[in-house]
A and B are shown apart, each in its own frame.
Chain A
């Protein structure tokens, strides 16, 4: 029989163990990334909100992701270069690539190599979770501030699976600041660690279970409604019109994914992983969604008479190029940047020859 005193000491020791783990995690973050020892430390510290919605904080840094003076991922901007904006979401912002390997950085490198000097800069105007709609809201401010002349539009179709997601959240004037709940940094690390050691099959089952639980809050669809595709198409078209109205040459880029051209469901586990973020659409609906959304992008390009770079058709899928369902590996980002550089070079050449605004 364990005495109450011994049990209490054991309990205290266990609590010390957990608290010390959290302390070690914070110390590690502090020493490795210069993270604050107290307070939250997650990707949200990169952003703030203003009347237009989400905006990058100048010089904010979270792990490998760092923003420049202007609040965009990448190096500081050079005033004398032709500015190309890259609109998109996490695929453009870069998640899995090493620092400096995200496709906008590589695109800048390829374009300058082709031009023969450092003539252009590609501004990564994307952030994770950005939609064509929020990009459209923010675009005039960015264009005016950076005097951009070319823009790549690489929107994420999945944002339009559930239209209520699209509502932007501008800051409310005078709203009281809500206290952040305590953040267990060790919990996030353990989750990531477990993800790394659990066999793929077990992970897929866990994700499927999570999705089943989340399904209850939605009407589950087999196929994306036509209304959503139309909304996507309208938002992209409006973004293109906004850019054109401000003298920017937009270039639309179709959306590539792990499953490659044709959207075959070769990797069920990745479809399950993808669906976890959008439980309202069944796995079978994703390939169809990508196909229809890319058709919509092609149609917008034709209607608006803007160049289209069809990476969805030309980019090979597979795990060498994609770290998950849509996010690039270093190699994938290189391929993407090469294809964009090929398609973009004539546009850039044309703009550089034209009068400077």
Chain B
């Protein structure tokens, strides 16, 4: 955490000044690359070596595919990337089963996961896919290394694509004061979200969502269970969306626009809409490079439906090699499938649920279904998942509430505020502009609050939830 703060306080302003004054594009690219690598090196040189190896392999193999765009070449590239990911992400879980028996298994079980590997491996894969599809991509080695290791995105995305990033890297410097102001606003909003996420996680006095899942998650009454689940859903959203907003803001200050990752996901009225608003860059990656190519292999409807579910299984597996995540992915796939089948049934029978009631009930079903799914995402084991699921589906589960009043007030307050603010912004069609609309004095008082809580309530060495993926 210390090095992150130092990067923020001293590294970024110095880098911005250099980037602003540096005219040659290549010089600026080298500057960004050096800074990105210096940043990533603070997490350990072993991780750095793996990032370099992956980047070099994908760069070279992308060239091979461009010259020989055959399925075989693409498959070699896919297998190599998936193998690298598997060694660090999936093999340790597998080896831990045999860890007691052999020394090698024990060593593998303790392999550290290079931070961000899931994100930059998918970036490498999308480059190979794009080359196979014949996209006109000719990055230099520096540009490709920067694409893979770009400091703002290297830790936890958003997952970028070279066709979006390359023109920006080649453009003359856009590190302007206007971009700094716009980026700073984004960072403020991100910090606010992260702070809210941490507040939900830790509670005001240590009794937050984390405490709830660790201490009281068995035999909870119905209301408590849902408060805990909704609290976790918002903690996850704020933590990851906040992080992404900070990253987008930092890149924006340097004149580089990164793709959005979240767009008011809890306002979604169907699961399909939800997955176009939650972790969008991964969702779209899965859609473009997995679902569409697989679904179009055969014409039958059952095949397309199967591929839909399979794609979401991969989505779950991307997070972690655990049965809970596989089932979570399957659950999300089945939700999408159920939505699709319902739509088809409605079309066939001419049934329409329109109007406010239709929208509200559709939103409520989606909200409940998505939050129910977080049980699988958060539970530490099947036993806890089972307990939570039983309490969540039994409105008659009686018993006095065990959650402290401060927790209830926190969750309800944040959720109500979220729907009021985001609902308003959705209606107005504006993004993150509420702060900007306030008078400057009031805005600075809000900034002070965000600054204060970010510094003194989130400065504990807690990591972001998505760093573990």
Is the pair A13, B441 in contact by a Cβ cutoff of 8 Å?
A: yes
Any chain B CB within 8 A of the CB of A193?
A: yes
Any chain B CB within 8 A of the CB of A214?
A: no
Any chain A CB within 8 A of the CB of B396?
A: no
Docked Cα-Cα span, A25 to B449, in Å, equals: 9
Which residues of B, 417-467, contact A by the 8 Å Cβ criterion? 440-441, 443-445, 447-449, 451-453, 455-457, 459
Is the pair B2, A197 in contact by a Cβ cutoff of 8 Å?
A: yes
Is the pair B2, A32 in contact by a Cβ cutoff of 8 Å?
A: no
Q: In the complex, given contacts A16-B441, A25-B456, what are 13 additional A-B residue pairs having Cβ atoms less than 8 angstroms apart?
A: A13-B440, A13-B441, A14-B444, A20-B448, A24-B453, A28-B453, A31-B204, A32-B205, A193-B456, A193-B459, A196-B459, A197-B1, A197-B5
Say yes or no: A28-B448 contact (C-beta < 8 A), given A12-B441, A13-B440: no
Cβ contact of B2, chosen from A14, A17, A196, cutoff 8 A: A196
Which residues of A, 189-244, contact B by the 8 Å Cβ criterion? 189, 193, 196-197, 199
Any chain B CB within 8 A of the CB of A21?
A: yes
Docked Cα-Cα span, A13 to B443, in Å, equals: 8
Of B1, B5, B448, B455, which is in contact with the most chain A CB atoms at under 10 Å from its CB? B448
A31 contacts across to B, CB distance below 8 A: 204
B205 contacts across to A, CB distance below 8 A: 32
Is the pair A16, B445 in contact by a Cβ cutoff of 8 Å?
A: yes
User: Would you give the 0/1 interface string for B176-209, flagging 1 where the beta carbon is closer than 8 Å to chain A?
Assistant: 0000000000000000000000000000110000
Any chain A CB within 8 A of the CB of B297?
A: no
Count how many chain A residues have C-beta atoms less than 8 Å from C-beta atoms of the other chain. 21
Is the pair A24, B452 in contact by a Cβ cutoff of 8 Å?
A: yes
Docked Cα-Cα span, A32 to B452, in Å, equals: 14
A25 contacts across to B, CB distance below 8 A: 452, 456
Any chain B CB within 8 A of the CB of A266?
A: no
Query: Which chain A residue lies CB-closest to B450?
Result: A24
Query: Which chain A residue lies CB-closest to B443?
Result: A13
B452 contacts across to A, CB distance below 8 A: 21, 24-25, 28, 186
For residue B410, give the distance in angstroms from its CB to the closest CB of chain A: 11
Docked Cα-Cα span, A241 to B459, in Å, equals: 50
Cβ contact of A20, chosen from B449, B455, B456, cutoff 8 A: B449
Any chain B CB within 8 A of the CB of A9?
A: yes
Is the pair A17, B459 in contact by a Cβ cutoff of 8 Å?
A: no
Is the pair B444, A20 in contact by a Cβ cutoff of 8 Å?
A: yes
Is the pair A197, B6 in contact by a Cβ cutoff of 8 Å?
A: yes
On B, residues with C-beta under 8 Å from A are 1-2, 5-6, 9, 204-205, 440-441, 443-445, 447-449, 451-453, 455-457, 459
B9 contacts across to A, CB distance below 8 A: 197
Docked Cα-Cα span, A199 to B1, in Å, equals: 12
B449 contacts across to A, CB distance below 8 A: 20, 24
Docked Cα-Cα span, A17 to B1, in Å, equals: 25
B445 contacts across to A, CB distance below 8 A: 16-17, 20, 23
For residue A229, give the distance in angstroms from its CB to the closest CB of chain B: 41
A186 contacts across to B, CB distance below 8 A: 452
Docked Cα-Cα span, A197 to B451, in Å, equals: 16
Say yes or no: A17-B447 contact (C-beta < 8 A), given A28-B452, A193-B456: yes
B447 contacts across to A, CB distance below 8 A: 17
Query: Which chain B residue lies CB-closest to A12?
Result: B441
Say yes or no: A17-B204 contact (C-beta < 8 A), given A12-B441, A193-B455, A197-B2: no
Is the pair B444, A9 in contact by a Cβ cutoff of 8 Å?
A: no
Docked Cα-Cα span, A185 to B449, in Å, equals: 14
Cβ contact of B448, chosen from A9, A17, A196, A197, cutoff 8 A: A17
Docked Cα-Cα span, A197 to B443, in Å, equals: 27
Of A14, A16, A25, A189, which is in contact with the most chain B CB atoms at under 10 Å from its CB? A16
B6 contacts across to A, CB distance below 8 A: 197
A12 contacts across to B, CB distance below 8 A: 440-441
Which residues of A, 167-203, contact B by the 8 Å Cβ criterion? 186, 189, 193, 196-197, 199
Q: Which 9 A-B pairs have the closest CB atoms?
A: A20-B448, A20-B445, A24-B452, A17-B444, A13-B444, A21-B448, A197-B5, A16-B441, A16-B444
Is the pair B440, A9 in contact by a Cβ cutoff of 8 Å?
A: yes
Docked Cα-Cα span, A186 to B453, in Å, equals: 12
B451 contacts across to A, CB distance below 8 A: 21
Docked Cα-Cα span, A18 to B5, in Å, equals: 20
What are 18 A-B pairs at a CB distance below 8 A?
A13-B440, A13-B441, A13-B443, A16-B445, A17-B444, A17-B448, A20-B449, A21-B448, A21-B451, A21-B452, A23-B448, A24-B453, A25-B456, A28-B456, A28-B457, A189-B455, A193-B456, A197-B5
For residue B124, give the distance in angstroms from its CB to the closest CB of chain A: 34
Cβ contact of A189, chosen from B5, B440, B448, B456, cutoff 8 A: B456
For residue B186, give the distance in angstroms from its CB to the closest CB of chain A: 19
Is the pair A24, B441 in contact by a Cβ cutoff of 8 Å?
A: no
Docked Cα-Cα span, A31 to B205, in Å, equals: 10
A21 contacts across to B, CB distance below 8 A: 448, 451-452
User: Would you give the 0/1 interface string for A1-28, flagging 1 where the beta carbon is closer than 8 Å to chain B?
Assistant: 0000000010011101110110111001
Query: Which chain B residue lies CB-closest to A193?
Result: B455
A14 contacts across to B, CB distance below 8 A: 444
Docked Cα-Cα span, A20 to B444, in Å, equals: 8
Docked Cα-Cα span, A12 to B1, in Å, equals: 33
Query: Which chain B residue lies CB-closest to A189?
Result: B456
Docked Cα-Cα span, A27 to B1, in Å, equals: 26
Docked Cα-Cα span, A24 to B444, in Å, equals: 12
Docked Cα-Cα span, A31 to B448, in Å, equals: 17
Query: Which chain A residue lies CB-closest to B448?
Result: A20
Docked Cα-Cα span, A27 to B227, in Å, equals: 26
Query: Which chain B residue lies CB-closest to A9?
Result: B440
B457 contacts across to A, CB distance below 8 A: 28
Docked Cα-Cα span, A321 to B9, in Å, equals: 33
Docked Cα-Cα span, A272 to B451, in Å, equals: 32
Is the pair B455, A24 in contact by a Cβ cutoff of 8 Å?
A: no
